[in-house]
């Protein structure tokens, strides 16, 4: 740490950080997204991805899924803070639920030629990615899957001419007959 950097706050040891996918079922009313995002940033947490849309027209609720990082204690604190908001009906820790499904969609552009081009095509097949757009020197792949799978695919594309990535952020739903 540099000399002029402020010392870390004096707090109890927090433990290792983990990635957490949190889903909030919220009343679809003006400002609800701003409330969630504002709370997360005001308390110094980080949002790695965020998706939101109305999901139940009759009950007028939306599902907000966000990915964040932190120690177990910090994730618990984020969950409790989110649950305190009036329009938030419930908060689900997708990462902790055994019966949760998660999916993300990504568009990935690679610019390459020759051997690299063949290799990227082969890897795309293995990952069940689809070529949405092709030129003689580029592909745009579409891939869906769990966040970890997409991260792995992007990493593999890195040496093969990866140019640009666009991701939707994580969606989640429960397996089986149970609903949130």
State the residues that interact with another protein by CB under 8 A. 6-7, 9-13, 27, 30-31, 34-35, 38-39, 42, 73, 76-77, 80-81, 83-87
Q: Which is nearer to another protein, 26 or 143 (CB)?
A: 26
Question: Residue 84 contacts by C-beta under 8 Å, 6 or more apart in sequence?
Answer: none
What pairing do the DSSP bridges indicate for beta strands 130-134 and 61-70? Answer: unpaired
Q: How far is the CB of 89 from another protein (least distance, A)?
A: 9
**Whole-number Å distance between alpha carbons of 177 and 180:** 10
Look at the alpha carbons of 13, 88, 92, 170 in this order and tell me if their dihedral is positive or negative: negative
Q: Which is nearer to another protein, 35 or 103 (CB)?
A: 35
Q: Which is nearer to another protein, 30 or 178 (CB)?
A: 30
Q: How far is the CB of 86 from another protein (least distance, A)?
A: 4
Q: How far is the CB of 134 from another protein (least distance, A)?
A: 44
Q: How far is the CB of 29 from another protein (least distance, A)?
A: 9
Q: Which is nearer to another protein, 81 or 144 (CB)?
A: 81
Q: In what order do the strands lie in the sheet with 47-56?
A: 47-56, 61-70, 18-27, 88-93
Question: Residue 90 contacts by C-beta under 8 Å, 6 or more apart in sequence?
Answer: 24, 25, 83, 180
């Amino acid at each position: 740490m540099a000399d002029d950097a402020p010392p870390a706050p004096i707090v109890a040891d927090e433990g290792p950080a983990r990635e957490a996918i949190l889903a909030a079922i919220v009343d679809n009313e003006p400002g609800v997204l701003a409330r969630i995002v504002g709370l997360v940033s005001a308390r110094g947490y980080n949002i790695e991805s965020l998706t939101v849309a109305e999901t139940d027209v009759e009950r007028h609720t939306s599902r907000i899924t966000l990915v964040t990082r932190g120690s177990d204690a910090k994730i618990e604190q984020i969950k409790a803070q989110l649950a305190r908001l009036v329009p938030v009906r419930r908060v689900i820790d997708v990462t902790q639920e055994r019966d949760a499904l998660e999916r993300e969609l990504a568009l990935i552009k690679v610019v390459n030629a020759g051997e690299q081009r063949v290799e990227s095509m082969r890897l795309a097949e293995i990952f069940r990615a689809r070529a949405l757009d092709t030129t003689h020197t580029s592909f745009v792949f579409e891939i869906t899957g769990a966040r970890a799978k997409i991260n792995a695919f992007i990493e593999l594309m890195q040496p093969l001419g990866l140019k640009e990535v666009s991701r939707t952020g994580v969606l989640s739903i429960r397996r089986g007959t149970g609903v949130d």
